[in-house]
Each structure stands twice: as C-alpha cells, then as structure tokens.
C-alpha cells in the first residue's frame, strides 16, 4: 500500500509538469496570433499572461503574426470616424473617433495596424497612428502641395528583425508645372523626410483618392473616369495599365493585384496576369486580367434572406478572402473561399465619392 501511494505521488507530479509545459506553449506560441482587443481582454486571465501580453516583445511578435482584416474605419465628409468590427468580441479599438490625436482628422490610408490621417485645419498635417495603443507621430510638411483630397498609400511591412516600425507614405498629386500630369512624392520613416521622384506621368486624369493599392513594390491607383495608373517604386517609373472604364475596387488577393466589379447583378473577381499588355503588338491576344470568380448576387442574396439585389452596388473593399459591397439596405460581406454572404453592422454614405471605407488590422504595432 505504501508503494502504491508513492507511485500516485510521482504520477501527479509528472502530470503537473506536463500541464505547465502546455501552459507555457499556449502563452508563448498562441498569443502572438490573436488580435489586439482579445489580448487586452486576456490580461485578466492571470498575472503571468498580463506580464507576457504587456511586454514589447509580445507586441512585436503580434504585429508580425496577425494580419487578418479586423474591421473597417468609416468616415463621411463632415463626420468623425467610426469603426465597423467583423467580430465585436475579438476586434476593436478604444477610441474609434480618434480623439486622442491633437486635432480632428480625415483617415486617408491604412496598412497592417497603422493609420494615415490628415488634419482638418489649414496646415493639413499628416499623422501616423496606432488606434489601439493611441500612439501617434506627426510627419513633417511635404515638399509639394498634395491637394485637398490626396491620393495616398501607406506601406508598412512588419519585419521580425526590426522592433521599430518602418513605413512609407506615397502620394500621387497633380503637377504644378505641367497640365494634365501627376507627380509622386514619398515619405520614408527611416530617413524622416519627404522626397519627390523625378518621374512625371503625363495625360493624367483625376485619381480616386481611396483607390491606391500596394503590391510587391508597385502602387496602383484608379482614375475617376476609368483606367489604372501604376508607379514602380524600384524602377521609379509610371505607366497606364488599363484604358477601359472601371467601376470597381482594387485589392490584393493571393499576393496579386485584383479587380472586383459588380455589373448586371454579377460580382466578378479578376486577377492581374500581365502588367505589360500596353507594350504588346496591336492584335496580341495576351490578356491583362484572368477572371477567377463570378457570382450571381441577386440569386445568392435572395436565397440568403438579405432582400432583393440591386444593379447599383459599390464594391467598398476587396483584399485577402474578403469583399464588401454596399446595397440599398446596408453593407454585405462576401468570403471568396466559402462563397458565403453576410451582413455587416454599420451604415455607408449614399455617395461613395465622399466616404472613407478602409480595412484595418487589429495590431499592437509600436510606432
């Protein structure tokens, strides 16, 4: 009997050791893959978790590990920003109106947890901020006049080797020296200064400010009247990619530029397959875009109980596996993998020319 008791004691100790090892594994290797709001809630689990989540190393790992779209910042011309969460229990920010910034702002761009905002005062200063941590930085004044509604693209690609977030802000703006031309200016956080590229794109029309997308070192913007212009950051060259009329949204899917449109009750996802079709022979059969998905919206929405479909829909967001479209009765999400529609809680302005609808990643990135 004494021998049996000793065996039970040894077994209990072994089980305790296994449990502690599993607890350490969860804390060390699972927490970095969770969104910021969930991590703040999990500080209440125990003292060890609170200390782990509060370390700069965890914030750095989380910004490198978690890249899922968590929701959308929305803003009409005259109202402060608001936030639509894809999961209110998991994703969120403490101050969606961004009142922690020194002045009221317009949201211009977003990338991997960072927002680019512009002040509403005469100075029109640019701010880079993290709405979760409420950290922010005011950028120096650009060399050029970017206009009242600049076409900005924020680029932030987290690196496990860099604890300080290194980001870039690129703006395409109307040239002051040449008519119907646009130039390009970049801010580099590493250098802490702005620089105007020597490249000038002639024959430019007005760009859609909210349309900019960065894919593998190339920035793409939509023209108001149709077509796409690109700027290659490495080659520092621009070109027109597409001449036809486009009423859709640019995004990034599977690492490639995608174009999502809605026409005649059909949602179509196309992926860029050839950037250089403009240089091909006149009768070349090489296509610039490959159609990857085509979905009848009317039938799908009616069957799902979302009400009748409408011809005049706007594609507000398209990236990863997620597409957001605006109908008369509200906002709808579409998952390209499951091909399921869902409703989003939130309202969009009836005129999408005057609304900001920007995807956001719930990150702890440190500025």
Query: Parallel, antiparallel, or unpaired: how do β-strands 322-327 and 314-319 relate?
Result: antiparallel
Note whether 119 and 215 are same-domain residues.
yes
Q: What tokens appear for 198 in the block?
A: 């020597």
**365 domain-assigned:** no
User: Residue 267: how many CB atoms within 10 A of its CB?
Assistant: 24
User: Residue 132: how many CB atoms within 10 A of its CB?
Assistant: 24
Note whether 27 and 113 are same-domain residues.
no
Number of domains in the chain: 2
Note whether 146 and 284 are same-domain residues.
yes
Place of tokens 């402060």: 80
pLDDT band at 304, cuts 50/70/90? low
**316 domain-assigned:** yes
**367 domain-assigned:** no
Global pTM value: 0.86
List the one residue out of 86, 77, 129 whose CA is nearest residue 348. 77
pLDDT band at 242, cuts 50/70/90? low
**366 domain-assigned:** no
Q: Could you read off the pLDDT of 142-181 as tens digits, one per residue?
A: 999 998 889 999 999 988 777 778 999 999 999 999 988 9
User: Is the pLDDT at 286 greater than 90, yes or no?
Assistant: no
**298 domain-assigned:** yes
pLDDT band at 245, cuts 50/70/90? low
Half-sphere exposure at residue 144, Cβ-oriented, CA atoms within 13 angstroms:
22
Note whether 204 and 288 are same-domain residues.
yes
Which has the minimum average pLDDT: 212-221, 237-246, 256-265, 323-332? 237-246
Q: Could you read off the pLDDT of 87-144 as tens digits, one per residue?
A: 999 999 999 999 999 999 999 999 999 999 999 988 899 999 999 999 999 999 999 9
**Edge to edge, what strands does the sheet with 322-327 contain?**
314-319, 322-327, 330-335, 340-344
Note whether 173 and 43 are same-domain residues.
no
Q: State percent of the chain over pLDDT 90.
A: 51
User: Is the pLDDT at 308 greater than 60, yes or no?
Assistant: no
Place of tokens 């007005």: 206
Domain span including residue 319: 67-360
pLDDT band at 83, cuts 50/70/90? very high
User: Is the pLDDT at 275 greater than 80, yes or no?
Assistant: no
Q: What is the pLDDT of residue 265?
A: 80
- Which conformational region is residue 103 in: left (phi greater than 0), alpha (psi within -120 to 50 degrees), or beta? beta
Q: What is the pLDDT of residue 1?
A: 46
Could you give the CA distance from residue 114 to residue 159 in angstroms, rounded to a whole number? Answer: 14
- As a whole number, mean pLDDT of residues 192-209 equals 90
CATH number at residue 273: 2.120.10.80
Burial bucket for residue 284 (CB in 10 Å: 0-12, 13-18, 19+): exposed
User: Is the pLDDT at 11 greater than 60, yes or no?
Assistant: no
Note whether 144 and 253 are same-domain residues.
yes
Concatenating the DSSP letter of every residue in 113-172 gives TEEEEEESSTT--EEEEETTTTEEEEPPPPSS---SS-EEEEEE---TT-SSPPEEEEEE
Please give the C-alpha separations between residue 238 and each of 106, 203, 296, in angstroms, as whole numbers: 27, 12, 36
- The most confident of 25-29, 97-101, 313-317, by mean pLDDT: 97-101
Note whether 94 and 26 are same-domain residues.
no
Q: Show which of 35, 57, 79 is a domain's final residue.
A: 57
User: Residue 78: how many CB atoms within 10 A of its CB?
Assistant: 7
Note whether 35 and 179 are same-domain residues.
no
Q: Could you read off the pLDDT of 29-82 as tens digits, one per residue?
A: 789 999 999 999 988 888 888 888 899 999 999 999 999 999 999 988 778 899
Note whether 130 and 28 are same-domain residues.
no
Q: What tokens appear for 266 in the block?
A: 């059909």
Cα four-point dihedral sign 221, 223, 226, 229: negative
Q: What is the pLDDT of residue 288?
A: 76
40 membership: H or E segment, kind and range: helix 36-42
């Amino acid at each position: 009997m004494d021998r049996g008791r000793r065996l039970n004691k040894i077994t209990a100790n072994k089980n305790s050791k296994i449990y502690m090892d599993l607890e350490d594994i969860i804390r060390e290797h699972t927490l970095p893959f969770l969104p910021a709001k969930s991590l703040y809630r999990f500080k209440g689990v125990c003292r060890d978790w609170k200390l782990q989540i509060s370390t700069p190393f965890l914030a750095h790992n989380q910004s490198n590990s978690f890249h899922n779209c968590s929701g959308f910042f929305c803003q009409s011309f005259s109202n402060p920003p608001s936030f639509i969460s894809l999961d209110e229990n998991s994703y969120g920010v403490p101050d969606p109106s961004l009142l922690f910034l020194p002045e009221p702002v317009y949201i211009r761009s977003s990338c991997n947890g960072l927002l680019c905002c512009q002040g509403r005062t005469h100075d029109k200063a640019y701010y880079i901020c993290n709405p979760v941590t409420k950290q922010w930085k005011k950028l120096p004044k650009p060399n050029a006049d970017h206009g009242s509604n600049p076409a900005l693209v924020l680029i932030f690609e987290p690196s496990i080797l860099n604890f300080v977030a290194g980001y870039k802000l690129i703006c395409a703006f109307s040239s002051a020296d040449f008519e119907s031309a646009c130039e390009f200016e970049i801010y580099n956080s590493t250098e802490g200064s702005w620089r105007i590229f020597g490249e000038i794109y002639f024959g430019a029309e007005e760009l859609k400010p909210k349309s900019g997308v960065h894919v593998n070192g190339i920035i793409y913007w939509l023209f108001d009247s149709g077509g796409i212009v690109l700027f290659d950051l490495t080659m520092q060259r621009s070109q027109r990619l597409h001449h036809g009329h486009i009423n859709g949204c640019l995004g990034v899917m599977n690492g490639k530029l995608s174009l999502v449109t809605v026409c005649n009750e059909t949602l179509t996802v196309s992926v860029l397959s050839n950037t250089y079709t403009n240089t091909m022979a006149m009768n070349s059969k090489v296509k610039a875009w490959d159609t990857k998905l085509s979905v009848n919206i009317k039938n799908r929405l009616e069957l799902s109980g979302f009400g009748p479909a409408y011809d005049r829909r706007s594609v507000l967001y398209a990236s990863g596996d997620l597409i957001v479209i605006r109908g008369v009765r509200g906002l709808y999400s579409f998952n390209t993998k499951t091909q399921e529609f869902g409703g989003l809680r939130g309202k969009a302005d009836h005129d999408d020319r005057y609304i900001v609808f920007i995807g956001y990643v719930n990150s702890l990135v440190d500025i």
